Amino acid sequence: MNKLLVAFLRWCRIGLWLSLAAMALGSQAGTLEAGSAPAMRELHRKLSDRLADSPLKRPVVLDSMETDGGLQGDVYAVVNHSIDDVRRALERSSQWCEMLILHINNRRCRAEHGSNGEKLTLSVVPRYDKPIDQAFELTFVHRVAHATREYLLVDLSAESGPMGTSHYRVLLEAVPLGERQTFLHFAYAYDHNMVARLATMAYLATFGSDKVGFTVVGKTPDGGPEYIRGLRGLVERNAMRYFLTLEAYLDGFAVPPPERADKRLNSWFQAVEMYPTQLHEIDLATYLAVKREDRQRDAGTGR
């Protein structure tokens, strides 16, 4: 067991990772029910008060839960971008790669088109300062299930992940709210076996004991908000980080193509720093230096 915990702690900064949230049925995150434009519009109506009064300083609602087999979380948000831009950002695996690489721990992403469709392989390090050869690779199948001006549904799936995790599912739904706004459902889920669950809980009770999520579960002795911890706190942090990668990627469309990469990096970092209690890890100069190193390395290898 000690060896297992050491191995897990090496990887736990992945955050058990790719965060976002999912529409999972039963205990398997791999099961997905397709939505629809009317269903999304009704969901927007039901969430309108929570979106308007969100404590997250933007029209965003973040939910999380533990399932019998793993974790899932959902981010619902209104963004000031057209659905055409959202579709343009996510309809190809190469664009997902450009988006996901904004995350500090994602050091490389490769997109490929094969006989079974588009795939992307993400290389994730346990800490931003670890070399790329310590990265774990996770390969997703990319699928555009529905893409019109009224409704977008895109999902990614991976059968296996690190340290006993499996059945990863990343999902994005979107409907337009007029010409310049879009209502999004950005979702993420995965399963974990009992060993992985125990290892995660051991980390969260020790080295990760100061980590919190976004859901307020009470008040601290001084009257401040008391945030959720543990497994749900973990999935909420990841879900928010990855929603912010999407928003930062969309922000890049506002500037000319040569300026987009830097615009997106700065937008992601600034957005993360709005939530220092949950998401702060490094300063801007270090973040940009890491990403510049990644860009130079991959340019040199032709990836």
For the chain, percent of residues with pLDDT exceeding 70: 77
Reported as a single tens digit per residue, the pLDDT across 17-59 is 333 222 222 223 333 355 799 999 999 999 999 999 999 989 9
Contacts (Cβ under 8 Å, ≥6 apart) of 249: 89, 95, 98, 99, 102, 264
What pTM value is reported for the model? 0.81
Over range 163-175, report the average pLDDT. Answer: 80
Distance separating alpha carbons of residues 79 and 4, to the nearest angstrom: 42
Mean model confidence pLDDT for the chain: 81
Q: What is the pLDDT of residue 228?
A: 84
Reported as a single tens digit per residue, the pLDDT across 184-209 is 998 877 665 555 555 555 545 555 56
In which residue are the tokens 């469709």 written? 117
Give 127-167 as a DSSP string: STTS-GGG-EEEEEEEEEEEESSS-EEEEEEEEE-STTEEE
Inform me whether the pLDDT recorded for 298 exceeds 50: yes
Distance separating alpha carbons of residues 153 and 168, to the nearest angstrom: 17
More confident of the two residues 264 and 299: 264
